[in-house]
Amino acid sequence: MRRITLVCAALALSWLAGPSCSCTRQNIPRAYPAPTVEQLLTHVRQGGEAARSYKAESKMDYWVGDQRIKATVLVMGERGSKAFFKAMNPATDTSAADLVCNGEQFVFVDYERNCQLSGQCDRRAIGQLLRVSMEPDDFLLLAVGSVPIIPDPTGRVRWDEGRGAEVVELVSRDRAWRQTLVLDGRGGAGKWDVLESVVSDAQGAVDWKVQNKGFRQVSTADGKTARVPEATRFEQPKQKADLQVRWEERTVNEELDDKAFQREVPDLTACTGKKAAPSSSR
């Protein structure tokens, strides 16, 4: 079998490189009949639809203004635009900021600056804390290893023998959006982990990009199983924003107390200098 030489020095510096880098890789043949685009999209969607809630402790690396922050963030969410984020101060191990979405409204409290923001719980809400813009239900998809799909897609699928992956190239019906999905095919048919998803506009500019690595199988609270990533990176080049997440403790489909998503707006001054431009591909 023909082998391809790789440059490991470059890979060792990349986010996706693991602790050990192999300088060769095999051309991997597809070991099952070629799937259709619809089969692959159904697989991705079903993985996300099976999750109604998640709860996790994570290590996040993200931008706050012009400062890069690395901290523990406690997160949980429930389908229906309910989300809770508690970012910890790495120096004091106390709460630095909270963000709560109750399905309609969000409340953001910055304990470091002693200020607050509130408003509609939409794709801009999460950006108040993490700078990136995404719907709360889309963050749920990331937590369980799925991704949102552009509306009304058509496309084609090809096999990447170097990665052992299905590459799905999609375009929306109005041709305003394109999406490329890379799904791991090394586990066999029906075990397609989402390695990467890139959404671009009609001019080819990347709107957002997701990369996952280190998938593992976990038991869900409702007695089923789910394939979830150990690390996720979400990027929005237009906003010069990216979020790197290393998932630690995590549960899926646990019953969550609705009180966790309720928060009154505190009597604090409004935070200034915060903004999050919405992504338009959803």
Domain CATH for 86: 2.50.20.10
Provide the token pair at 59: 């290590």
Tell me the C-alpha to C-alpha distance, in Å, between residue 238 and each of 60, 66, 242, 276. Answer: 21, 15, 10, 11
Residues 175 and 45 in one domain: yes
Domain membership flag for residue 8: no
pLDDT band at 13 (very low <50, low <70, confident <90, very high): very low
Question: Does 12 reside within a domain?
Answer: no
195 domain-assigned: yes
Are 174 and 194 contained in the same domain? yes
Whether residue 264 sits in one domain with residue 126: yes
Least confident of 18-22, 98-102, 123-127, 144-148: 18-22
Range of the domain at 180: 31-49+143-252
E-assigned strand segments in the chain? 3-5, 24-26, 53-64, 67-78, 82-88, 95-102, 105-110, 115-120, 153-160, 165-172, 177-184, 193-201, 206-213, 216-219, 225-228, 231-236, 241-252, 269-270
Question: For residue 251, is pLDDT > 70?
Answer: yes
The band of 9, judged by pLDDT with boundaries at 50, 70 and 90, is: very low
Same domain, 96 and 58: yes
Q: 3-state class of 101 per DSSP?
A: strand
177 and 229 part of one domain? yes
Residues 154 and 206 in one domain: yes
Same structural domain, 184 and 197: yes
> Is the per-residue pLDDT at 3 higher than 50?
no
SS3 percent helix, strand, coil of the chain, rounded to 5, is 15, 45, 40
CA atoms within 13 A on the CB side of 179: 24
Our count of domains for the chain comes to 2
Asked if residue 235 and residue 153 are part of one domain, the reply reads: yes
Residue 266: pLDDT over 70: yes
Whole-model pTM: value is 0.87
Going by C-beta distance under 8 Å and a sequence separation of 6 or more, which residues neighbour residue 253? 51, 52, 53, 54, 220, 221, 222, 224
Q: Assess if residue 14 is contained within a domain.
A: no
- Residues 239, 149, single domain; the answer is yes
75 and 58 in a common domain: yes
Q: Is there a single domain that holds both residue 150 and residue 241?
A: yes
